[in-house]
Every structure is written in C-alpha cells, then in structure tokens.
Structure 1
Amino acid sequence: NFQRVILEFAEKNRQVILPGYTHLQYAQPVFFSHHLLAYFWMLERDKLRLKDCYVRVNVLPLGVGALAGTSLPIDRAYVARLLNFPLITENSMDTVSDRDYVLEFLCCVALLMMHLSRLSEDLILWSSPAFSFVEISDAFTTGSSLMPQKKNPDVAELTRAKTARVYGDLFSLLATMKALPLSYNRDLQEDKSSLFEAVKIIKQCLKLYPRMIGKMKLKHENMRKQAQKGFFAATDLADYLVEKGVPFREAHGMVGKLVKHCLKENKSFEDLALKDYQKISSLFEANVFQRIKLEESVFNKESTGGTGKKSLARQIKLAREKLEEGENPIAS
C-alpha cells in the first residue's frame, strides 16, 4: 500500500539532506525522509476521513417507499440486522432525497487527490533539470514526439490534472443538489457519473503511485549541493543568540544585518571570520562555526515533529506503529 511504500522509502533514505522550501524559496535544510513523510500523514488523515465517512454510508435506506414510508407490516430494523447494517435512516423524505453520503465521499477523495497532486508537483519540480533531485523511472514517463532528449513526468502530470476532474465531480453534484426541493427529483440520477468517475480516478492513481515512488531514484549529491547554498543557517544563528538571552526579535535583526554584510561582500557565513560575527554581536563565540554546518542545522531540530535525527526516528517509529495497528490502508 502507498503509506507503506512511503515509509519504507523514507527509512531507506533517512540520511539524505534536502533543501526545504517556503514560497518556493530555499528556507532551511531538512531530511528528505522528513519531507516525504509529510505525505504519509496526509494519507493517514485521508484514511481516517474515509473511515468516518463510512459510518454515514453504512446506514440502511430500505423500506421508506417513494417518500412517505409504507402501510405494509415491514420491520426495517430486522432487515438491517439481516444485512448487517448498524443503523437505519429515520426520515423517509430525507432518505429518498439524501446524497450527503456521496458528497461526503467526494469531499474525502477530493482532499486525497489534492494531496496526490501536491506530491505530483514536488516530483515534477524535483525531476526537472532546474532541480535534478530525483529520476523517475521510464515506466512512468514519456519522451517527446519532437525533442529526443525529453523525459516527461506524465503520470505525475496526469495525476495533477485528474485532481481537477475529481473536484469537478464534487462541484457538479453540489450544484445539482443546491436547489432541489424535497423529496426525490430525477436530477439525482446524475450522482452516478460523478461518483463512479471519482472512484475510477482514485483507484488508478493509488495503483500507480506506490510503484512510481518505489522505483524512483534520488540524486543525493545534487540535493546536498543545493542544500549548502544560500544562508540556510540564518535561523540557526538567530537561535544561537536567543540561547544566549537575546530576544528573538533582536536576534532576527542582527542576523539580517549579517546576511546584508555577506551579500555586500559576496561571501557566505562560512567565509566570515569570528571578528565579522562579533561586529554584529559580542555574544558570538568560536562555537558559532559548528552551528552553521549543514548537518548541524538539520540535526538540531529535535522538537516533536521536527526534522532532527532523533525526532525523525520517533516519527518513523510512530508511522510504523500506525501501519501495524491492523487498520486497513488506503491503497491495497
């Protein structure tokens, strides 16, 4: 299943360092595994939403007639027990006109597809020459009819596009339902096309994605090379000053001045001498050079849920426990 593939791929590559982005601008370095596991937890929420949705799907509607119930001596609760339904619907008019359970399911799978689309966008960017962080297997890419050198991430791109189709299925049914008077109207037969298409799409995507991730190759050195660029340790330097009693607001400003000085002199933090740091603040000591190392910047983020080495190990352990709880995974 997809979550298991993500977890195993994360465990296999837990030493790989990747640039972390905000606003698509390099922000701080993180473990690649930490980034990938974000999608594990998205899928975990998707799984819980679908399970919760099933509670409202698994309700017996039989026996309500056309809209008013029936005068025949039926026992709906008995039928529910025979068919293993835990509940029966309580209002006949609501029952024949209700499509909430379809809409709720479509909401759940729309969120799931949104998560797959975000992962697709990451893979599309990472596999492009501008990033060159990963190589997607030929089985999930195509060439160009004109340009011999091209290797296009078709599965990721089509997943991104199929997300819009599932959104359309949800919005189409919402628009159908919005002005229907009670109770049944023929408009409701249009729920089938929206539901069936969304199910087909999500099953296709969840069938392909575990295979694509499992066969993906990481370009470790390219990731590391990019992670070492820029002023990735700026926040670490601010934290360094905070640990010495400087309010973060002031520490932020001091490090901003240090970055400005580096830009003016065309230098990195590593190029500066201790005296350069001490011109900004006398609190900088020789151990500051340890804090601006790439590994140190990643390793020291040990708050729960952070990218630190111990924190990542805890996260992997918790993810493993989630899979071993015996709950049915999203993709099987």
Structure 2
Amino acid sequence: MTQPVRLWGARFRTPPSAALMRLSRSPETYFRLVPEDLQSSIAHARELVRAGILTQDEGARISEALTAIGEDFAQGKISPSSTDEDVHTFLERVLVERLGPLGGKLRAGRSRNDQAANDLKLHLRRAAKRIAADLLSLQDALIAQASEHQNTLAPGFTHLQPAQPVTFAHQLLAHAQGFSRDIERLQDWERRSSRSPLGAAALAGSAIAVHPELSAQELGYDTACENSIDAVGSRDHVAEFLFVSAMIGVNLSRLAEEVFLWSSRQFRWVVLDDSYATGSSIMPQKKNADIAELTRGRAARLIGGLSAMMTALKGLPFAYNRDLSEDKWAAFEAIDTLEVVLPAMSGMIATMRVDVSRLKAQATEGFTLATEVADWLARNGVPFSEAHEITGALVRYCEEKGVELSDLTPADLSAVDPRLGEEMLGCLTPEAAVAARKGYGGTAPVRVAEQISRLKETVLRQRDWANV
C-alpha cells in the first residue's frame, strides 16, 4: 500500500485537516512538471556528490532510479496518489519506495522553494520554443498566401472605412510582422530567464549545494541566479512569459477579427475550407468561422492570466509565499491555450481561398483613389491644404453625380477646378495607386516582394533558434 510522504510536519501535534489538504494539494495539471523535477533532481544528486553527501555510487544509483521513475511515469506505470501533496512529494515517495533511506538523502541542501521555481522555469523555457514553432507554422501560412497575392488588389481600411488600395499580400504581411515580433519577444524572454534558481534553497542559499552555477549549466542555463532571495521570491519571468502569450493572443484575435470580415457574406473576400469551418444545428446554410471566434475568445484567457499573475505578485513581502503557486495555473493555461489555437489558425489561413476579382472590384469603392488626386495636385505645385479641399469637392461632385472617380471626364474635372488636368486621370487606377507607394515598407508589389524575402530570412533564423 502506498504510504503518504510529507516533506514537513514533525513539529506539528496533529495531522493536517482534510480541508487544508484539499486547498494545499496541487491540481492534477501541475504534475506535468515531473520531467523537469526529475531532471533537476539528477543535477542536484551530482551536486550532493560534489559536496560529499553522496558517494559516487550512491549518486549513480539515485540518478538511475530517477531516470527509471521518469520512464515509468511517461508510460503510465506510476501516477500520483491522492495523498501526494505535489510533484516533489510524489517523486520523493516513489524514490524512497525504490531505494529506501538512500532516497531520502536527496533532499539535503534544497527546498521546495527553489525546486518549484526551477521546475516551472525549465518548463517555460521548453514551452517557449514549442510556441515559437507553432507561430512559425502560422508565418509559413501567411507568407504562402502573401506570395500568391503580391499583385492582388484590395481595399485598405482605416476606421473600418475604405481608405486606399493596397495589395492583399501587404495586408496579410501586416499580421506576419506582428507575429515575427512575438517570436522575438520569446527570444528576448529566454535570454532573461537564463539563470537557475536551483541552489537558492529556502531563501538564503544552501550550506551544502554550494556550486549552483555547475547545476545551472547542466540544466541548460547560463549560470545561477545572483541573489537567492530573488531566485525563490520573484516570478517576473512568469509574468513576462504571460505578457508575451497575451500579446500573441491579441495579435491572433486581430487576425481572427479580419477573417470574420473577409469570409462574411458582405465582404466575400475569402472562402474558408470546409475542414476549418463549422455549421449550425438549426440553419443548414450556415458556414461559420468558428476557429476565428474561438481564438478571439481564448485571447481573453491569456489576458486574464497575465492580470491574475501581476495581481498575485504586487503585494508579496520578502522571499517565497504560497501565493506564488498561482504562477503554474496561469502559465499552464497560457501554454495549453496557444498550443491548441495556433495550429487551428495556421490551417485555416493556409487553406482559405481568395476571391481575387471581388477584391479588385472593391479596391476602388468608396473613393479610395481620392488621395491620388490630392497627391497629383501637390506634385504639380498646389499646396496640399488646397489640394485636400479640391479633392474633397471632387468627391462631393462624384457623389452628387452618382459616379466613381474613375468615371470622370476632362469636362468634369474642369467643372470642379481648372487645376485638375486631364493627365491626372492616368493616376486613377488601383494599379497606379499601389505602384506609387514604392517607399520602403509600402504596398507596391516590388516592395511587398522584398518584404516577403526579408521575412523568409527572419523565419529561417527564428526556426533555427526554435530547433524546428
């Protein structure tokens, strides 16, 4: 029969109440830290050998047992019991069951405080690269669609009103640029989370594990934390991870919002693949962009997790407090959310079909070429303040006549203002409008092609960092 193990309790006269244990026990999802706790324990065993607490043979036996425990856990042969308070209690119980008193030696020189901080940091460092890999798959989908639509004309919007013609590729790449920065944030975060808390023990450091920098290197960190109190009492690396996750969620939500519009009956710019859409239980004709809706909703969870973590941190005194256990709830929620949302969004973007002719037809609706008139006047010596007024009068003239700018004749132009020359009509095409925006970062197809090329290079570098 499994015997419960408590890592504390000898000074207490009565056992913990059932109510306390229900509150104190880690949720099942927290036991996903088993691999990280075992890896940390193997590194700690080596530190205890260096300290003379374990012999070389004892250290080897403990490391072999920990490795076997990890394999058994992964295969479902062992699992936490209801009496295991947390991942540390669970693994020490199993280790002692297998090695007897030798298993109990491993606890020397460490605390659950530095173990907990270290386990989650290791887990997040791995999750950051998985999330980056999923983001890169979304980048691939956006780049592939953009490559097909470098010359596809589309209406650009401000305030959700038609503004100027753009290429559809340029609109897609606007989202890709945001996701590229999200990956850069994960890279920056990894650099700032490169110090190990292991060896800080409860708060003052360890009198036994005196070479935490060596354990840090074994665990893939750059070195150990500079300050032991900071090591166990700070979770800004978790808060920052949650901020990056929330920012990814916000960027995903913005893309999702546009997918709603693009695929709506009113826009009809894109058609979603049947495998990435759903229907209605009562309206047989419906085809819903549920992936986009669910993504927009899940962004709220990511923002909420960041808010919860920041609130938990804001009033904590000194070193470790149990409030910090909220870090795992928020972090795991963020990881789980992104690892579900990102592949679905990638598939939806990769498989959507673009209606090129409809986009082109809408590219000039709503007088989106008006800026071309004002720019032409400015290039011909008219102060832009006057050019703006003349163009506004020309748009009003079109509205009264019920025509578009491209329908105007030389007679119409002179009726509005004699400075509107006939040659200006050559600027009133969406092709001319996008070609004119040829500055760095503009929507001209030649610039879009360069943007795609640079983004592909960035994706290659980021893929190398994420090891995918």
TM-score, normalised via structure 1 length? 0.95
**Amino acid aligned to 1:145:** S
CA shift digits 1:264-304 (9 cap, x unpaired):
22222233221322344333222211111121112211111
Which residue does 2:347 correspond to in 1?
211
Superposition pairs of residues 61-80 of structure 1, within 5 angstroms: 61-72=197-208, 74-80=210-216
Q: CA deviation at 1:115?
A: 0.7
Which residue does 1:19 correspond to in 2?
155
Which residue does 1:83 correspond to in 2?
219
Q: Which protein has the bigger helix share?
A: 2
Which residue does 2:374 correspond to in 1?
238
Q: Is 1:295 matched up with 2:431?
A: yes
Which residue does 2:450 correspond to in 1?
314
Rounded Cα–Cα distance in structure 2 between residues aligned with 1:43 and 1:253:
39
The unaligned stretches of length 5 or more in structure 2 are 1-136
| SS of residue in 1 equivalent to 2:422 | coil
CA shift digits 1:242-272 (9 cap, x unpaired):
1111221211111011111222222222332
| SS of residue in 2 equivalent to 1:232 | coil
Superposition pairs of residues 141-160 of structure 1, within 5 angstroms: 141-160=277-296
**Amino acid aligned to 1:222:** R
Rounded Cα–Cα distance in structure 2 between residues aligned with 1:318 and 1:93:
44
Rounded Cα–Cα distance in structure 2 between residues aligned with 1:140 and 1:331:
28
Rounded Cα–Cα distance in structure 1 between residues aligned with 2:209 and 2:396:
84
Report the CA distance shift for 1:282/1:329 in structure 2 as closer, same or farther (over 3 A): farther
Give the share of equivalent positions with the same residue, in percent. 38
Rounded Cα–Cα distance in structure 1 between residues aligned with 2:465 and 2:154:
28
**Amino acid aligned to 1:26:** P
After TM superposition, the runs of 4+ consecutive aligned structure 1 residues lying more than 6 A away are none
| SS of residue in 2 equivalent to 1:29 | strand
Which residue does 1:186 correspond to in 2?
322
**Which of 266, 291, 295 matches 2:402?**
266
| Count of aligned positions | 332
CA shift digits 1:19-78 (9 cap, x unpaired):
111000011111000000111111110010000001122211111121122333611222
The unaligned stretches of length 5 or more in structure 1 are none
Q: CA deviation at 1:218?
A: 0.8
Which residue does 2:230 correspond to in 1?
94
| SS of residue in 1 equivalent to 2:437 | coil
**Amino acid aligned to 2:201:** G
| SS of residue in 2 equivalent to 1:148 | coil
Q: Is the 8 A contact 1:117 1:159 kept in 2?
A: yes
Name the stretch that deviates more: 257-266 or 155-164: 257-266
Which residue does 2:313 correspond to in 1?
177
Q: Is 1:195 matched up with 2:195?
A: no
Rounded Cα–Cα distance in structure 2 between residues aligned with 1:251 and 1:331:
54
Rounded Cα–Cα distance in structure 2 between residues aligned with 1:153 and 1:271:
37
With a CA cutoff of 8 Å and minimum separation of 6, indicate the structure with the bigger relative contact order. Answer: 1
Report the CA distance shift for 1:288/1:77 in structure 2 as closer, same or farther (over 3 A): same
Q: CA deviation at 1:106?
A: 0.6
Q: CA deviation at 1:326?
A: 5.9
Q: Is the 8 A contact 1:207 1:331 kept in 2?
A: no
Which residue does 1:56 correspond to in 2?
192
Rounded Cα–Cα distance in structure 1 between residues aligned with 2:181 and 2:208:
44
Give the greater-gyration-radius structure (CA): 2
**Which of 245, 252, 268 matches 1:116?**
252
